[in-house]
Amino acid sequence: MRPPSGTDTAMHPPHRLELRGLAKRFGPVAAAADVAFDVEPGRVTGFLGPNGSGKTTTLRMLLGLVKPDAGTALIGGRAYRDLPAPARTVGAALEAKGLHPARSGRDHLRVHAAFLGLGDARVDAVLEQTGIADAARRRAGGYSTGMRQRLNLATALLGDPPVLVLDEPTNGLDPAGIAWLRALLKGLAAEGRTVLVASHVLAEAERLVDDVVVMHRGRIAATGPLAAFTRRGPLEDAFLDLTGAPA
């Protein structure tokens, strides 16, 4: 079914993410084991964990990019592969790679937009929204890391999705860029969208998220509202307690 062109101005129904018993092994490595948590619409959820704790693997299972050995991941009650319009339901920005260096940022977005049945007006809207309109006609190969990150986010936003899944979206952003992204993501959540952000930058997460999910060694170590993690001090203290890392 081909989606209509143009953008949706009507608000989408809220989409809760429900992960249940997800497991994935890569040879001897249990990248994820019995992973279960919910992500609520209208909130920014920080998916936190040390390097190699299994966050990206979990996100890839949620997005149907990796087949779990066990468990389910539902987006508004359906697995990603069963969504009628997946790219209009979930905007995902995992790693800022796969950009054709000779193609301009705008052309990159136009390719994705055509795939979604969207026109250039939507491309221009997300270029404005992500602050890269001025660089849009330059070749993406010359973009800074922060600009590539913004283009990646613009791609995720193209389909005006009710769900956003972002892996380390502040990588490469300067302090003004980080503050800008924070305001953008909080605004998207305030519109009722479900925003899941994987990060290991705890000071940033503390200023952004409403809810926290901590993953450690492939398992969920704790979940809850941010306030539950910051009662005794900075989020970093609770995080280091949970993940056993030296202070």
Ligand X SMILES: Nc1ncnc2c1ncn2[C@@H]1O[C@H](COP(=O)(O)OP(=O)(O)OP(=O)(O)O)[C@@H](O)[C@H]1O
User: In the complex, what is the shortest distance from the CB of residue 68 to ligand X, in angstroms, rounded to a whole number?
Assistant: 13
| 52 vs 233 by CB, closer to ligand X | 52
Q: Among residues 26 and 115, whose Cβ is nearest to ligand X?
A: 26
Q: Where does this chain bind ligand X (CB under 6 A)?
A: 26, 29, 31, 49, 51-57, 200
Q: Which is nearer to ligand X, 103 or 219 (CB)?
A: 219
Q: Count other C-beta atoms under 10 Å from residue 187's C-beta.
A: 11
The residue among 57 and 104 lying less far from ligand X, judged by its C-beta, is 57
Q: Which residue has the tokens 């101005």?
A: 9
Q: Which is nearer to ligand X, 186 or 200 (CB)?
A: 200
- Where are the strands (E) in 40-168, listed by range? 44-48, 70-75, 90-93, 163-167
Task: Give min distance, CB of 90 to ligand X, in A.
Answer: 18
Q: Which is nearer to ligand X, 31 or 164 (CB)?
A: 31
Distance (Å) of CA 139 to CA 79, 104, 121, 174: 36, 4, 20, 21
Rounded distance, CA 68 to CA 78, Å? 15
Least CB distance to ligand X at residue 48 (A): 9
Residue given tokens 């609770």 in the structure block: 238
Closest approach, Cβ 25 to ligand X, in A, equals 9
Q: Measured from the CB of residue 59, what is the shortest distance to ligand X in angstroms?
A: 8
Residue 172 has a CB neighbour count (10 Å cut-off) of 16
Q: Which is nearer to ligand X, 32 or 75 (CB)?
A: 32
Tokens of 61: 């299972």
Rounding to the nearest 10 degrees, give the CA dihedral for residues 120, 121, 123, 125.
170
Q: What is the dihedral of CA 170, 172, 174, 176, to 10 degrees?
A: -40
Name the residue type at position 215.
M
Strand order in the sheet with 194-199: 90-93, 163-167, 194-199, 44-48, 211-216, 219-225
